[in-house]
Amino acid sequence: MNIIAQLEAEQCAKIEAKRQLPLFQVGDTVRVMVRVTEGTRTRIQAYEGICIARSGGGLNETFTVRKISYGEGVERVFPVYSPLIEGVELVRRGKVRRAKLYYLRGLRGKAARIAEKREHRRKDENSSKEIGEIAVADSAATNLSE
């Protein structure tokens, strides 16, 4: 690992120690808490929309959030490790098959909706409580072993 990559990794770890972002992907609806300074006052502003892109890596990683405000599409690019981001809440997971959802720019109304991803829960054979993991590959493996 070269020196620059090592320094970036240290800075990322330092920022992640202060605040932890949830694991979200493209297609998820997120609420980003942004610190906004107006004159002498500082407040937290919530920006909720669909994450349409993630790009970059390390300290330069960014994500783009798109929302419709008063009938107009608004996109905003947030650096993941920006000190102005107080936090990110995951509102709902989206089911998409693309890494970039730029095609949503041309869609309006119901056509611009994204289906919600369902999490399949399976029951443990020994107890009646549910296990919170997604059991797609696990269930196929158990069917083959029986």
Q: What is the pLDDT of residues 109-131, one digit of tens each?
A: 888 778 888 877 776 666 555 55
Residue 145's pLDDT band, with cuts at 50, 70 and 90, is very low
Instruction: Record the pTM.
Output: 0.72
Of 69, 61, 23, 24, which Cα lies nearest the Cα of 45? 69
Helix (H) / strand (E) containing 145: helix 137-145
How far is the C-alpha of 8 from the C-alpha of 4, rounded, in Å?
A: 6
Domains of the chain: which residue ranges?
3-115, 119-146
Q: How far is CA 137 from CA 24, 127, 142, 144, in A?
A: 21, 21, 9, 11
Domain topology for 3-115: SH3 type barrels. (2.30.30)
Within 13 Å, how many C-alpha atoms sit on residue 9's CB side?
6
Overall average pLDDT of the 16-25 stretch: 84
Reported as a pLDDT band with limits 50, 70 and 90, residue 46 is very high
